[in-house]
A = this chain, B = another copy of it.
């Protein structure tokens, strides 16, 4: 069993998320899926991780219903891994990782892959957190309320 449950704060959504996708490879696999990769061998080639590890990770991701196994074409014995709605829900997270990396791990003029709006080819804006009334919120403008119970 790879997933250790961090029971101490099982009531925290952050902890539950990390229990599902908080390991070294899962989010990179999901990122590749957003880039259109679907097959076992594609992930393996692109990430360069051992096949047994990939096998384990994909199985867990399927168990968590982040990926779904669907036949490549009707009648084919081969299957491909496609993101479910839940998996697609990870999009903001991947974008968040990307934007933080861009901001802090690249030198000024250093080239990196870029996420652009498909319609106009323009770079996307930074993710923003807003209040119910639309005000932009930073880390200090929020508080975490413990679960009522």
Residue numbers of A with Cβ under 8 A of B are 4, 6-9, 11-18, 20, 22-24, 27-28, 31, 34-35, 46-48, 83, 86, 88-106, 111-120, 122-133, 135, 137-149
In angstroms, Cα B104 to Cα A89, docked, is 9
Most B CB within 10 A of own CB, among A94, A96, A125: A96
Q: Do A120 and B99 have beta carbons less than 8 Å apart?
A: no
A104 closest partner in B (C-beta): B86
Q: Which residues of B contact A112 (CB under 8 A)?
A: 11-13, 147
A145 closest partner in B (C-beta): B114
Q: Do A103 and B89 have beta carbons less than 8 Å apart?
A: yes
Closest 4 CB pairs of A and B: A13-B101, A17-B101, A16-B105, A117-B131
In angstroms, Cα B31 to Cα A14, docked, is 8
Beyond A14-B97, A48-B8, A99-B92, is A144–B129 a contact (Cβ under 8 Å)?
no
In angstroms, Cα B124 to Cα A133, docked, is 9
